[in-house]
Structure 1
Amino acid sequence: MHPLFDFDALTKHRARAARGFAAIAPVLEDLSARLLERLDDTSRRFTDALDFGGRGLTAPVLAARGLRVTSAEFTPAWLANAPGARHLITDPADFALPQAAFDLIIAPLSLHWFDDLPGALIQLRRALRPDGLFLASVPLLGTLQPLREALLEAEEELTGRVSPRVSPYPELRDVAGLLQRAGFALPVADLEEITLSYRAPLTLLHDLRLAGETNALSARSRRIPPRALFPLALSRLPVQEGRVLMPLKLGILTGWAPS
């Protein structure tokens, strides 16, 4: 089966983003904080946490809670943001995580680029100790939808053809089912709807680049896009009171390792 994502391209995008992501860091920290708030909903106390793909922003918050933290990243450059954590460089196919080593795993916006998401969830569940907690956030269907539609319409108008430029995202019921398939107990998937607001539409593209979230689809066009493509697409984004509003539909996933 042809892979949906080009992980080599993603790794390059992430490495480039790690060198200058300060402008987008507050947004990523806010999204991570929304996930970590779920820790306050349980009386369970944790000792050993895995920050899986948190770009080095989640590990310091976990350490401040008194946990021993391991940061796992595919792009080593992000680990520089988590100097106090144990560092682990993982492979996209085999995470090589120690089994039953953690009682808490946090995966903030780090699972949506995997072709084999069920397999990724199984690997993470196996890394949990019995009764360990898994928390993750993933973008869902509807995220960046105005941008997706504007790019498709502009490219078809200019060239007569279209190529995918925004990743497909799953539906909430899909990720809830995947948690159960991966063997998590008490699986829960909640929807949190966030609206990103921009004074200038070009800032949206800059933020996606700074977060390492630019196009890494295997089926993406390798041609140089027409110079008019992005200006035309951005001019068609919906504007409200002088600002471009972009939806982020966030799935908050919770599951426990069976006791």
Structure 2
Amino acid sequence: MSQPPLFSPARHGAQRDRMAGLPASADFLAPIIAETLLDRLAMVTRTFERTLLIGAHDAALIANLRGLGTELTLFEAGPSLASRVGATVGEVDGIDMAFGRFDLIVWPGGLDSVNDVPGALVRLRALLAPDGLLLGAFVGDGSLPRLRRAMMADGVRSIARLHPQIDLAAMGNLLQRTGFALPVVDVDTLTVRYGDLFGLVRDLRAAGLSSRLFPAPPPLTREETARVAAAFAAEADPDGRIAETFRLIHFSGWAPHPDQPQPARRGSGTASLAEALKSKS
């Protein structure tokens, strides 16, 4: 019997459509992630003729990618947004396009809330032509520690409300297991200071990071909301503002190709580590 989904595709689509209706300036994370991805892409000494962008809400990123001269295809979970920008609509773990169609896939957020992460990566690997690149980022393990503690305040029902998080090591293993060559995973830590809980909640909604758990947990009561807000405020610095942490995990992997650098075969070394250490003593 199949496992029930952890996340709701319907809630995901609705969140994406609501997010796209906000001013571009409301989502502070989108330009940060886009800049880091474009910087990493600029370090790659080759061109990409056919690109798939997963997520179509960031008009600036779309314009930047098209400015590189690539043929850009958009894939988007929000049905209204997808219709407006001419994107294919769907969830990444159900993406169905021709194998080997793209040289580059860019995924600026969302991997952490896919029901079948290995399945999504396998599908994306199949969409890449040989020596094609997958490049992405998401909010990962260790993010929002103060909010997570506040949600466990006394008098608040013990119900899962926040998404589980993927860590650095797990992401590296996932890329290897799903057939990507030369995987690279690293993390940037971003600290944002808030005046209260509700400023953080606004940012999470604007960035599409609010809960899409399935089934949806019951909403907090007014009393529970007050308890969570008080617990969050108790973490404030002396100036009264609360520093919250976002850990942005960046990842990349290549579709295998014979001309790529290969790791040396195990046992093929000609120098002895033990002898080298002796020579240093």
Note whether the superposition's TM-score is higher than 0.5. Answer: yes
Q: Could you give the per-residue CA deviations for residues 36-76 of structure 1, whole angstroms, max 9, x where no partner exists?
A: 21112221111211111252442222012222211100113
- Shift >4 Å, 4+ stretches: none
Is 1:56–1:78's contact at 8 Å kept on the other side of the alignment? no
Equivalent position of 2:36 in the other structure: 34
Measured at CA, do residues 196 and 77 of structure 1 come closer, stay the same or move farther in structure 2, by a change above 3 Å?
Answer: farther
Whole-angstrom CA distance in 1 between matches of 2:35 and 2:79 = 23
The worse-fitting range, judged by mean Cα deviation, of 103-112 and 227-236 is 227-236
Measured at CA, do residues 144 and 228 of structure 1 come closer, stay the same or move farther in structure 2, by a change above 3 Å?
Answer: same
Measured at CA, do residues 221 and 166 of structure 1 come closer, stay the same or move farther in structure 2, by a change above 3 Å?
Answer: same
1:70 to 2:99 alignment: no
Whole-angstrom CA distance in 2 between matches of 1:28 and 1:80 = 21
Cα shift at 1:4: 1.4
Q: Could you give the per-residue CA deviations for residues 109-153 of structure 1, whole angstroms, max 9, x where no partner exists?
A: 121111210000011111111111110112211111210110122
Whole-angstrom CA distance in 2 between matches of 1:229 and 1:32 = 36
1:216 to 2:212 alignment: yes
Please point out which of 164, 167, 183 is paired with 2:163: 167
Q: Could you give the per-residue CA deviations for residues 14-37 of structure 1, whole angstroms, max 9, x where no partner exists?
A: 222222243423431222211221
Higher relative contact order (CA 8 A, sep 6+): 1
The worse-fitting range, judged by mean Cα deviation, of 113-122 and 23-32 is 23-32
Unaligned runs of 5+ in 2: 258-281
1:239 to 2:239 alignment: no
Whole-angstrom CA distance in 1 between matches of 2:25 and 2:196 = 15
The alignment partner of 1:70 has SS state of strand
Measured at CA, do residues 21 and 162 of structure 1 come closer, stay the same or move farther in structure 2, by a change above 3 Å?
Answer: farther
Larger Rg over CA atoms: 2
Whole-angstrom CA distance in 2 between matches of 1:35 and 1:230 = 36
AA in 1 matched with 2:228: A
AA in 1 matched with 2:152: L
The alignment partner of 1:51 has SS state of strand
Unaligned runs of 5+ in 1: none
Is 2:8–2:214's contact at 8 Å kept on the other side of the alignment? yes
Matches within 5 A, 1:120-135: 120-135=120-135
Cα shift at 1:200: 3.6
Give the percent of matched residue pairs that are identical in Structure 1 and Structure 2.
Answer: 30
The alignment partner of 2:75 has SS state of strand
Whole-angstrom CA distance in 2 between matches of 1:203 and 1:119 = 35
Whole-angstrom CA distance in 1 between matches of 2:137 and 2:56 = 11
What is the Cα-based RMSD across aligned positions, in Å? 2.0
The worse-fitting range, judged by mean Cα deviation, of 213-222 and 39-48 is 213-222
Equivalent position of 1:258 in the other structure: 256
The alignment partner of 1:152 has SS state of coil
Equivalent position of 1:178 in the other structure: 174
Whole-angstrom CA distance in 1 between matches of 2:93 and 2:178 = 16
Count of equivalent residues? 251
